[in-house]
A and B are shown apart, each in its own frame.
Chain A
C-alpha cells in the first residue's frame, strides 16, 4: 500500500517535472526576443560568478545543489526568497552599473553582474 503510493507519488513527480521542463522551454522560446542570462548555483558557488550583460537583461539563477541558497544584492536592489534544490530566481537589470550579490546563508558565495550598453 505504502509502496504503491510512493510509486504513484514518484510517477506524479516525474510528470510534474516533465511539465516544468516543457514550460521552461516555452518560457525560453518566448523570451528569445528579450536578452537573458543564466547563472547556475552548484557546489556552493555561483558557477559563472562575474557576468556582463546589456541593460534590460533578465538574469536567472537556478539552484542545482542539495542545500538551499539565496541570491541577495549587496546594495539591497534584489533579494530572492530561499531557493531550494531546483528553484529559480530572476531579476531584470534595467540600468547600467556593477551589482555585487551573495548567498545570505553561505556568504562566502559571491558574484557580480556587470550591466553595460
Chain B
C-alpha cells in the first residue's frame, strides 16, 4: 500500500480532500459481520431494523456495496473511574474491533470526546492508537476536548488541521458529501449544544449548488435533535442546519455524546447516535444524572462499541451496523 497521510488535508474553504486509492479494496466478498448488533436499513424515509441473519442476506437485497466507513465515539482517553478503570484499554479493544471488520473501512470518523480532560498525553495516546488502523481519521471535538486553557486549541492543533472556526469542515468521498459540525464551542448558559451563526452561514454556503440527489452524511458530537432536554442532550440551533439539509434525498446524521444507541427518521433525515468506547450512560431520565452508568465489569464490554456504516450505491440510505466490544 502506498504511503499516505493519516490526517486529511483541507483547502481554503474548509473542504477536505480525502486522498484515497480506489483500487485498494475490491468488491464486497463476504458479509460475515462480526459481533452482535443490528443493521438499520432506511428505505424511502422509513426506518426498519433487521437482525444479523437478515443482514447476512443484505448483498442480495442491496446489490454490491460501494464503500464502508467506521464510526468511533466518546473514547474519553484518561477516564479511570467506575465502571471503567482504563478507557485506553477499551479504546484499544475498539480499534481491534475495527481491524477485524471483514471489509476494511475507507476511513474512520471519531465523533468527539476523544479525551477526558483535553490533556496532551490523552490526545497523543488516542492519536498513536488510531494510527494502527492505517486509515484516515476525521474528527469533531466533544466538550471534553475543549478543556485546555485555550478552549480547544490543543485538540485543533492535533486533529483539526485545515478546519474552520471551532473545527468544522466538509469533504467528498465517492460521491457522498460529508459535513463535520462542531456543537460544543461557545455554549450558552442554560442552553444545550450550539452551532452558532458563523458555522450555519458556512454550512449554507457549503451546501449551495449541490444537487439534491447527492447523499449527505453529517457528523457532530452532541445529537442534532433533542434526545433529552433536561440533560442538555440536544443542539439549540440544530433546526436551522436541518432546514438547509431537508431538500436532499438522503441525509444521515451521526452523533455521539450520549454513550448509547438512539435513532429516528424524520422526513428524509436519519439520525443515529453511537455507543462510547469508554463507559455507558443511562437512558434518558432513568437516573438522577447522566453520569457514567456503573455496570458490573462483566457487562461493560457489551455496552461499549463501534458503528460500521455501509454506503450502497443506488440505495438512498446508509446501512449502520452497531457492534459491541464483546469478543
Contact = CB atoms under 8 A, between A and B. Distances in A.
Contacts of B149: 81
A107 B147 contact: no
Contacts of B230: 108
A85 B188 contact: no
A84 B188 CA distance: 21
Interface in A64-89: 65-68, 70, 74, 81-82, 84-85
Contacts of B288: 43
B291 A107 contact: no
A62 interface: no
Given A66-B81, A68-B144, A106-B143, A45 B191 contact: no
B117 A43 contact: no
Interface string A33-54: 0000000001111000000000
B291 A65 contact: yes
B191 A108 contact: yes
Given A44-B231, A66-B82, A100-B189, A84 B143 contact: no
Contact of B187 (A66, A84, A107): A107
A44 B291 contact: yes
Given A44-B231, A108-B190, A66 B291 contact: yes
Nearest to B76: A67
A110 B229 CA distance: 14
A101 B81 CA distance: 27
B189 A68 contact: no
Interface residues of B, number: 25
B291 A67 contact: yes
Given A65-B291, A66-B291, A67-B292, A107 B232 contact: yes
B37 interface: no
Contact of A66 (B117, B188, B292): B292
A45 B189 CA distance: 13
A100 B188 CA distance: 12
A84 B290 CA distance: 16
Contacts of A105: 143-144, 146-147, 187
B156 to A, nearest CB: 17
Contacts of A44: 231, 289-291
A61 interface: no
Contacts of B190: 102, 107-108, 110
Contacts of A68: 116-117, 144, 147
A57 interface: no
Interface of A: 42-45, 65-68, 70, 74, 81-82, 84-85, 100-102, 104-108, 110
Given A107-B188, A108-B231, 4 more contacts: A100-B189, A105-B187, A106-B143, A108-B232
12 contacts: A43-B291, A44-B231, A44-B291, A45-B289, A66-B81, A68-B117, A68-B147, A74-B189, A101-B189, A105-B146, A106-B143, A110-B189
